[in-house]
Amino acid sequence: MDWPPLRFGQPLTLSLGGIAFGVAHFVAAGLAMGGMPMMHAGIKAGTVQAPGVLMLNVGVMGLMGGLIGHAVYGLVVALVYGVFTR
């Protein structure tokens, strides 16, 4: 099978585990975004819009961009981990 995550000989479970890790990281980071107005000086001053939980105040594209970005991050971490543990 010549699917990119398997191209370097990585098992599919490692790739899917990496994507799951990235999605879990997105959920944790997205929930932390809800507390951002308490810490961010620009949000307190009103110069920056608060992102909201899971960045929903930015819109659906903020949610999808964060989710896809974190999934790709998890996949890259898993593939790099797999290369160095063979």
User: How does DSSP assign 14-81, residue by residue?
Assistant: HHHHHHHHHHHHHHHHHHHGGGHHHH-HHHHHTSS----GGGTTT-HHHHHHHHHHHHHHHHHHHHHH
- pLDDT tens for the chain, 86 residues long, are 445 555 555 677 888 999 999 999 999 999 999 998 899 999 999 999 999 999 999 999 999 999 999 999 999 999 888 877 76
Report the number of distinct structural domains present in the chain.
1
Q: Is residue 66 part of a domain?
A: yes
In a domain, 68, yes or no: yes
Its domain, for residue 80, covers 10-84
Q: What is the pLDDT of residue 30?
A: 93
* Residue 45 maps to a domain: yes
Q: Are 57 and 49 in contact (CB under 8 A)?
A: yes
In a domain? residue 5: no
4 belongs to a structural domain: no
